[in-house]
């Protein structure tokens, strides 16, 4: 058991290390002066000089990276140009809003997508199946920025049932989370359908049916449980997509999360914010996928790390 | 003929209809993109303040705005037609570039193994860990949003997808008997890869490229929507949406039509991708991306 988990841990650390190199290099391969990029155009020459020294811009690239990474390990990812405060806590403060949004969207996608996928598999070849497959492809092909605008036009502007933007109440959460859930919804329907079809063809399901187990029990005990694992993997792998979707969705709904902050950071050329956001999403990805690995063991008795 | 059709399972017939519909739509989009200058009812850049924000079907001085006019009085239909050209150019070029690089990397990683494989797999992990759009935003913000930079960004951020899939295909192909035969006959590794391995990965590349095409079409729209893609006054589906955003209450057509263009095109390409997969590469059914 420790062997594989250890290897996964090493892999995760390597990914984070690579992410830090990407973030570091992006600002250095530019023609401009990183110190000015990091401080903004309006910085005084004295501050730029101090920054140049802190970044070690007069030293070789390797040394600069060592400075960058030792600072990063201490949680120092620079200072936001606009907010004039350390960028890590500044970005982290927006994190709960993003977790709330992506979490709700994932929950919605699972709650709606799995039953549709299961039914689609069970009634394979029916009109229902064709409709579910069509819906899944449409959901995957829907640009979330557009879906957001359509939902705003219909439910906020037209019917006036829900607010167009904002944060804090349950009513604010409805439209953004539906918008964000769509891409994942399509994927979950498709994967659930494929997996359930595969599981239903397995010998142990036939045995369960043959020994007279009620269809619903066959389903919950055997089919669903086994289909759950690939879906879990899918969600793990899609964390990046989901966070990317949150960038756009949050911007459409002015949702005060990390994504909205990042886009504003890009507009304001507030690079420390953007760098922090990129690193943070890599960390979230690594942590969630480690959690998925642990969930495997809990869900599937065949998986034993030994 | 009718008998033969009804002999097919109900399901297959339904899919065939969907596939044919999708294929027709894709052909239409291609024709529109190629023939844009001839097809547009009006110069897409022509402004006419007096004719601003007219609804779909409004006719002014002999010109009919079939899909309405925007806040500068430009013809929305003409702009969508020109937008097709730009969106397809960006996504097709990006897909071809990324497919070439990714396939080459996947072949090397899968066939050679060793450290190239290990390096590649970590890069693939990295690509999964950093949201595509976030990286694209950062790169385009730093380099400036020219069409060339957008395409480069998409290639840089999407080639690992191909590398991952091709590598796993190569791992299977490597164990096939015909490769054993080639090796036994003393064929050089380079020749083996080109003659035997590469042709057998082509189907997977085709299927993947079609899904990626839809994906990049949507992401390009997102970049333009955020103001970091195609720059106005050049029309793209994404920046038209962004411009229409301020008129949701008064001029619904501004955001509705470009959005529908993206949705329809992406759906058609994805449907075709499904058909290609069932036809060319059924194993990919279990692949998740």
Q: What pLDDT does residue B282 have? A: 65
**CA pair distance B226, B239, nearest whole angstrom:** 8
Q: What pLDDT does residue A208 have? A: 80
Least confident of A100-104, A143-147, A251-255, A270-274: A270-274
Q: What is the value of ipTM here, to two decimals? A: 0.82
Maximum average pLDDT range among A180-189, A286-295, B48-57:
A180-189
Closest residue of B to A271, CA-based?
Answer: B138
**B142–A30 C-beta distance less than 8 A:** yes
Question: Does position B288 have pLDDT exceeding 50, yes or no?
Answer: no
**B218–A143 C-beta distance less than 8 A:** yes
Q: What pLDDT does residue B14 have? A: 56
Three-class SS state of A6: helix
Question: Does position A10 have pLDDT exceeding 90, yes or no?
Answer: no
Residues B94-133: tens digit of each pLDDT: 999 999 999 999 999 988 888 888 888 888 888 888 888 8
Q: What pLDDT does residue B12 have? A: 53
Q: What pLDDT does residue B3 have? A: 46
Query: In Å, how far is B3's CA from the nearest CA of chain A?
Result: 19
Chain B CB contacts of A145 below 8 Å: 221-222, 225, 238, 241
Question: Does position B241 have pLDDT exceeding 70, yes or no?
Answer: yes
Q: What pLDDT does residue B162 have? A: 92
**B134–A278 C-beta distance less than 8 A:** yes
**A124–B11 C-beta distance less than 8 A:** yes
A57 in Cβ contact with A32 (< 8 Å): no
Under 8 Å CB-to-CB from A108, ≥6 apart: which residues?
Answer: A177, A178, A181, A185
- Give the CA dihedral B90, B93, B96, B97, nearest 10 degrees: -100
Residues A241-270: tens digit of each pLDDT: 888 899 999 999 999 999 999 999 888 878
Residues B207-230: tens digit of each pLDDT: 889 889 999 999 999 998 988 888
**CA pair distance A196, B264, nearest whole angstrom:** 29
**CA pair distance B251, B265, nearest whole angstrom:** 23
Q: What pLDDT does residue B157 have? A: 86
Does residue A140 sit at the B interface (CB-CB below 8 Å)? yes
Query: In Å, how far is B93's CA from the nearest CA of chain A?
Result: 20
Nearest to A201 by CA among A217, A223, A183: A223
Output b/e per residue, B213-246; b: 16+ Cβ within 10 A. bbbbbbbbbbbbbbbbbbeeebbbbbbbbbbbbe
Chain A CB contacts of B216 below 8 Å: none
Residues A203-228: tens digit of each pLDDT: 887 888 788 877 777 777 777 777 77
Q: What pLDDT does residue B284 have? A: 63
For the segment A279-284, the average pLDDT, to the nearest whole number, is 90
Does residue B18 sit at the A interface (CB-CB below 8 Å)? yes
Cα-atom radius of gyration of chain A, to the nearest Å? 24
Q: Return the ∠ at Cα A254 (arms to A280 and B128), rounded to 5°.
A: 30
Does residue B142 sit at the A interface (CB-CB below 8 Å)? yes
How many A/B residue pairs have CB atoms within 8 Å? 154
Question: Does position A136 have pLDDT exceeding 80, yes or no?
Answer: yes
Which residues are paired to B59 by β-bridges? B64
Chain A CB contacts of B138 below 8 Å: 26, 266, 274, 278
**Reported confidence tier of residue B17, pLDDT bands at 50, 70, 90:** confident
**Reported confidence tier of residue A306, pLDDT bands at 50, 70, 90:** very low
Residues 208-237 of B with CB under 8 A from A: 214, 218, 221-222, 225-228
* Choice between A107 and B286, residue whose per-residue pLDDT is larger: A107
Does residue A146 sit at the B interface (CB-CB below 8 Å)? yes
> How big, in percent rounded to 5, are the helix, strand and coil portions of chain B?
75, 5, 20
pTM above 0.90?
no
A30 in Cβ contact with A37 (< 8 Å): yes
Three-class SS state of A210: helix
Which among A15, A26, A134 is the nearest to B129, CB-wise? A15
Question: Does position B8 have pLDDT exceeding 50, yes or no?
Answer: no
For the segment A145-172, the average pLDDT, to the nearest whole number, is 87
**B228–A262 C-beta distance less than 8 A:** no
* Choice between A100 and A291, residue whose per-residue pLDDT is larger: A100
Three-class SS state of B53: coil
Closest residue of A to B274, CA-based?
Answer: A137
Question: Does position A281 have pLDDT exceeding 80, yes or no?
Answer: yes
Question: Does position A9 have pLDDT exceeding 60, yes or no?
Answer: yes
Question: Does position A100 have pLDDT exceeding 80, yes or no?
Answer: yes
**Reported confidence tier of residue A191, pLDDT bands at 50, 70, 90:** confident
**CA pair distance B32, A133, nearest whole angstrom:** 28
**A285–B286 C-beta distance less than 8 A:** no
B74 in Cβ contact with B47 (< 8 Å): yes
Q: What pLDDT does residue A302 have? A: 66
The pLDDT mean for chain B works out to 84
**Reported confidence tier of residue B10, pLDDT bands at 50, 70, 90:** very low
**Reported confidence tier of residue B22, pLDDT bands at 50, 70, 90:** confident
Residues B242-269: tens digit of each pLDDT: 888 888 888 888 988 999 999 999 999 9
**CA pair distance B10, B15, nearest whole angstrom:** 9
Which among A14, A137, A243 is the nearest to B267, CB-wise? A137
* Choice between B6 and A273, residue whose per-residue pLDDT is larger: A273
Q: Which two tokens stand for residue A81?
A: 């140009």
**CA pair distance A137, A120, nearest whole angstrom:** 14
CB atoms near residue A2 (< 10 Å): 9
The pLDDT mean for chain A works out to 84
Which among B131, B238, B241 is the nearest to A241, CB-wise? B131
Residues 64-123 of A with CB under 8 A from B: none
- The torsion angles phi and psi of A175, rounded to 5 degrees, stand at -65, -45
């Amino acid at each position: 058991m420790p062997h594989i988990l250890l290897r996964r841990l090493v892999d995760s650390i390597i990914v984070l290390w690579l992410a830090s190199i990407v973030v570091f290099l992006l600002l250095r391969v530019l023609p401009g002066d990183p110190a000015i990029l990091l401080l903004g155009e309006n910085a005084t020459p004295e501050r730029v000089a101090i920054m140049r020294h802190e970044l070690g811009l007069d030293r070789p690239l390797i040394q600069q990276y060592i400075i960058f990474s030792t600072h990063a390990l201490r949680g120092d990812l620079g200072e936001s140009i606009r907010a004039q405060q350390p960028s890590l806590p500044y970005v982290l403060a927006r994190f709960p809003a993003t977790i709330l949004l992506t979490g709700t969207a994932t929950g919605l996608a699972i709650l709606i997508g799995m039953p549709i996928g299961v039914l689609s598999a069970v009634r394979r070849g029916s009109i229902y199946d064709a409709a579910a497959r069509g819906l899944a492809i449409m959901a995957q092909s829907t640009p979330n920025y557009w879906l957001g605008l359509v939902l705003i036009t219909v439910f906020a502007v037209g019917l006036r049932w829900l607010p167009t933007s904002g944060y804090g109440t349950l009513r604010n959460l409805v439209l953004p989370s539906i918008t964000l859930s769509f891409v994942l919804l399509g994927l979950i329907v498709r994967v659930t359908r494929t997996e359930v079809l595969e599981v239903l063809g397995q010998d142990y399901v036939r045995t369960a049916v043959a020994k007279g187990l009620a269809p619903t029990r066959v389903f919950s005990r055997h089919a669903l449980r086994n289909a759950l694992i690939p879906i879990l993997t899918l969600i793990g792998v899609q964390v990046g997509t989901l966070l990317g979707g949150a960038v756009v969705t949050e911007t459409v709904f002015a949702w005060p999360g990390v994504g909205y902050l990042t886009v504003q950071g890009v507009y304001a050329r507030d690079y420390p914010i953007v760098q922090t956001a990129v690193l943070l999403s890599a960390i979230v990805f690594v942590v969630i996928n480690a959690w998925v690995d642990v969930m495997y063991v809990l869900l599937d008795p065949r998986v034993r790390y030994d | 003929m009718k008998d033969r059709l009804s002999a097919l399972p109900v399901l297959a017939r339904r899919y065939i209809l969907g596939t044919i519909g999708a294929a027709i739509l894709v052909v239409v989009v291609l024709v529109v993109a190629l023939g844009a200058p001839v097809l547009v009812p009006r110069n897409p850049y022509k402004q006419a303040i007096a004719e601003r924000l007219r609804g779909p079907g409004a006719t002014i001085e002999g010109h009919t705005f079939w899909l309405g006019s925007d806040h500068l009085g430009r013809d929305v239909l003409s702009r969508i037609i020109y937008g097709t050209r730009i969106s397809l150019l960006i996504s097709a070029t990006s897909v071809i570039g990324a497919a070439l690089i990714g396939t080459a990397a996947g072949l090397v990683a899968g066939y050679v193994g060793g450290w190239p494989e290990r390096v590649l797999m970590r890069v693939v992990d990295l690509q999964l860990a950093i949201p595509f759009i976030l990286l694209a935003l950062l790169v385009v913000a730093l380099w400036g949003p020219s069409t060339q930079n957008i395409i480069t960004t998409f290639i840089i951020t999407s080639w690992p997808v191909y590398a991952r899939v091709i590598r796993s295909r190569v791992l299977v192909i490597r164990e096939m008997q015909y490769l054993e035969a080639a090796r036994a006959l003393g064929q050089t590794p380079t020749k083996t890869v080109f003659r035997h391995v590469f042709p057998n990965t082509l189907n997977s590349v085709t299927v993947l490229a079609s899904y990626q095409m839809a994906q990049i079409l949507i992401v390009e729209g997102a970049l333009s929507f955020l103001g970091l893609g195609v720059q106005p006054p050049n029309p793209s589906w994404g920046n038209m949406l962004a411009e229409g955003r301020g008129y949701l209450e008064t001029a619904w057509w501004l955001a509705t039509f470009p959005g529908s263009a993206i949705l329809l095109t992406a759906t058609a390409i994805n449907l075709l991708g499904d058909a290609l997969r069932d036809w060319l590469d059924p194993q990919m059914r279990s692949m998740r991306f």
